[in-house]
Amino acid sequence: MKIRHKILNQKYYLNVFNGFFLALGLMLLTFGLWLSCDRNNLFSVLFSSGENQLVAYISHMLLGVGSVIAFTSAMGFLGIVKEIKCLLVTYVSFQILVFVTQMAISVLIFIKKEEVHNQWNNRIDEVISEYGNESLAEQEPVWNVLNAVQHNMECCGRYNVTQWEWNKNKENSTQIPCSCTKSSLKKWFCDVPRNSTYSMGCEEYLNTWFENNVLILTAITISLLITQIFLITLTGQLFRNTKKNNIWPNES
């Protein structure tokens, strides 16, 4: 195959993979924006208050990587279409940098997953203990999200209704959150018989939600790594063939 034909084929496949790379980067960027801006998602609500700023670190990391990927993809499209060797070299350099960063993120997710999961459960237990405390009015958004989970999933507490016995903010020990029943009352606690409450705990639902989000993030990261291997390889080949084409234009 003549060099020019090879270049055209490589440019086509590079643009396809680069478009896929951009889409994945925008997914990371969207994920980071969601964590950073949506104050009603469960993860942000649980981890955005107090000393634990885990959600802020994760969202900033995702926003940073997503922005670099978007910039790198735009530069790549220009370098590929115009066959600008300087941009192609810069593009590959950024790809290698992002690849190393993505590998570090993958290792971090694998190492820290259990720690984050334990923090997740501890934070839920802490919210249940603080629930309804009049001196912690700033925590009401967190309690409202917990109420929504219990009401919509028809569950009560992290593992079962007895967990609410730890809560010391009730008028009497027999009260439970209204969201643990079919009650539509807009208050924190209700006086209802124990046999009319949801008996199942919310742990299974909460863990499934957590695992699904970690799985999505991991899948995007792995897809990025695979895509980058193709991009780095194809860009290197395009650079070599473009250089050959400039030296031996008659073979094109």
Question: What does the DSSP 8-state code read for residue 173?
Answer: T
Average pLDDT of every residue of the chain: 77
CA distance 210 to 230: 31
CA distance 223 to 242: 28
Task: Answer yes or no: pTM beyond 0.75.
Answer: no
pLDDT score of 41: 59
pLDDT score of 244: 62
Q: How far is C-alpha 131 from the chain's CA centre?
A: 27
CA distance 127 to 228: 42
CA distance 38 to 46: 12
| Region 129-148 average pLDDT | 80
Pairing of strands 176-177, 189-190: antiparallel
Res. 18 pLDDT band, cuts 50 70 90: confident
**128 vs 120, residue with greater confidence:** 128
pLDDT score of 252: 45
pLDDT (tens digit per residue) in 20-62: 888 888 888 887 777 766 655 566 566 555 445 566 677 777 7
pLDDT (tens digit per residue) in 218-248: 888 888 888 888 888 888 887 777 766 554 4
pLDDT (tens digit per residue) in 49-108: 544 556 667 777 778 888 888 888 888 888 887 777 788 888 888 888 888 877 887 787
| Region 165-191 average pLDDT | 80
Transcribe 73-124 into DSSP letters.
HHHHHHHHHHT-HHHHHHHHHHHHHHHHHHHHHHHHHHHHHHHHHHHHHHHH
Residue 163, pLDDT above cutoff 50: yes
Res. 194 pLDDT band, cuts 50 70 90: low
* H-helix segments, the chain: 3-37, 42-47, 54-82, 85-130, 140-153, 203-247
